[in-house]
Structure 1
């Protein structure tokens, strides 16, 4: 038995396919198949049931072996991290995939984190929620920050999700809008309004649901440029739906040029700001430290 074999069976278990696992690990399918067969002979049991129609499915015994394999690989990651900690000047990289609109929180946490970890470079990419999840699943990034709702049908297999903040969608209007004087607003009070849509899974899903329940609103434009969305609201060209924990960090909302209003008499649509990571990957100590600062920043907010 060797580490390579453990890596192979874990990857095959995650992908359910020898060919996909081989592709991800940059080895031949025959090589990974022979290695697993050799391990099965050594252990005198079958780890996978293999078939063309169903791929590779762990046996009952295989599931137990895989659990131990995960633990061994996690311990190896811890050993590497411990070894790296003895070289304090080594430059490390923290990679984050994030839903759009959360950069302010990430940067605030970075400001405090840099004092404790001056030799860590951070790379952040804003992506769709499904892409962030896939980045984590394929170990392309260390952690992800997403807006997530249980209303969505999104595959979270292999993903550890931790809600950092519970929020709700609100209606955002210009301070010059007659609606700005309302403390709450109902769907029927905005059916004559023009809408600007930020291009994200949350916004698209929420707006489609709203249109289905009531009626379509006039749409000024849809964009992934938040500055343009904020400008359209500020200049009374349109209103917008958005999660409160995202919008409150933007200057026009903080200085009162854009007013948030609670949406009432509408079916609850709970949404969380959450941290995601791979359920089977050990996080280095410096990543865990950054998460600590990120959580502290969330409490302040």
Structure 2
């Protein structure tokens, strides 16, 4: 069994078309067909079945695909570790992050890291909370910044970088806009703007309201911070957002107000796979991120 056969197999499986796979691999269609036939002959099973001009994985083909994907990722990681062992300052790091950390946290830490390690490259991937956790588990990304840091994921380990307050964001015309602080229960009759269910910030909002003794009435939903802030500015409702999302400024026609009761906070940290060893450049970045925020907290 050759590595080339496995790569050809994966490409055909993904595209479900031998010709398209050949184009992407920059080889002749006959070469792809021959390698797939050799692989099937060695395994003694059919991995594909024809459906018109396309091909589909057989049942045993799907099983083989799952294991081959894991094997190729392991080989890729091993090669990466060897390359970076020779020069740990020349690696490529795949980093994930959510929308709520994209405005300030990510640019700050990456800019500081690049100043010390200018030859390290980054592949950045933005995604939802659960997507980032699964991507780290599957080795699609190396590390991810998240808030809050997951504690019930056996395949993941992480470190808290800092803890931040969750603030109320109100339209400037709101009756409580002049308040210095408020109890969350003061907003129980208001309509809320929220992320959709499944988003971690929606969970934080719902749990905070539950602690305050009420269930929020969600009038509108948005899938990114700018949409949420824009809806509040338009007077559609109120919301709860992490303090770091207001780093540069509070949106026009809104006001941010601290919450006294209940105390609403979230941890923000960095996660990595528990079992997989990070490549040298990834280890350097992980350690750098921890030190960066430790120094930042001391300065503040």
Q: Give the Cα separation in 1 of the matches to 2:284 and 2:100.
A: 23
- 1:280 is aligned to 2:275: yes
User: Shift of residue 142 of structure 1?
Assistant: 0.8
**C-alpha spacing 1:145/1:230, structure 2 compared with 1 (3 Å):** same
Does structure 2 conserve the Cα–Cα contact (< 8 Å) formed by 1:78 and 1:282?
no
Q: Following superposition of structure 1 onto structure 2, how do residues 176-255 of structure 1 map, counting pairs within 5 Å?
A: 176-199=173-196, 201-210=199-208, 212=210, 214-245=213-244, 247-252=245-250
RMSD of aligned residue pairs (Cα, Å): 3.5
> Structure 2 stretches of 5 or more lacking a match?
1-60, 71-76
User: Shift of residue 160 of structure 1?
Assistant: 1.1
Q: Following superposition of structure 1 onto structure 2, how do residues 148-159 of structure 1 map, counting pairs within 5 Å?
A: 148=148, 155-159=152-156
In terms of mean alpha carbon deviation, does 98-107 or 290-299 score higher? 290-299
User: Shift of residue 81 of structure 1?
Assistant: 2.5
Q: Give the Cα separation in 1 of the matches to 2:130 and 2:69.
A: 27
Alignment partner of 1:280: what SS?
coil
Which of 69, 84, 90 lines up with 1:81 in the alignment? Answer: 84
Does structure 2 conserve the Cα–Cα contact (< 8 Å) formed by 1:144 and 1:276?
yes
User: Shift of residue 233 of structure 1?
Assistant: 2.3
**C-alpha spacing 1:114/1:187, structure 2 compared with 1 (3 Å):** closer
Alignment partner of 2:176: what SS?
helix
Q: Give the Cα separation in 2 of the matches to 1:185 and 1:123.
A: 41
Does structure 1 conserve the Cα–Cα contact (< 8 Å) formed by 2:193 and 2:238?
yes
- TM-score, normalised via structure 2 length: 0.63
- TM-score, normalised via structure 1 length: 0.63
Deviations 1:10-66 (A, max 9, x none): xxxxxxxxx9996544189xxxxxxxxxxxxxxxxxxxxxxxxxxxxxxxxxxxxxx
Aligned length: 228
Q: Give the Cα separation in 1 of the matches to 2:248 and 2:190.
A: 23
Q: Give the Cα separation in 1 of the matches to 2:69 and 2:110.
A: 38
**C-alpha spacing 1:216/1:250, structure 2 compared with 1 (3 Å):** farther
Alignment partner of 1:237: what SS?
coil
Deviations 1:126-154 (A, max 9, x none): 2222221111111111101111267xxx7
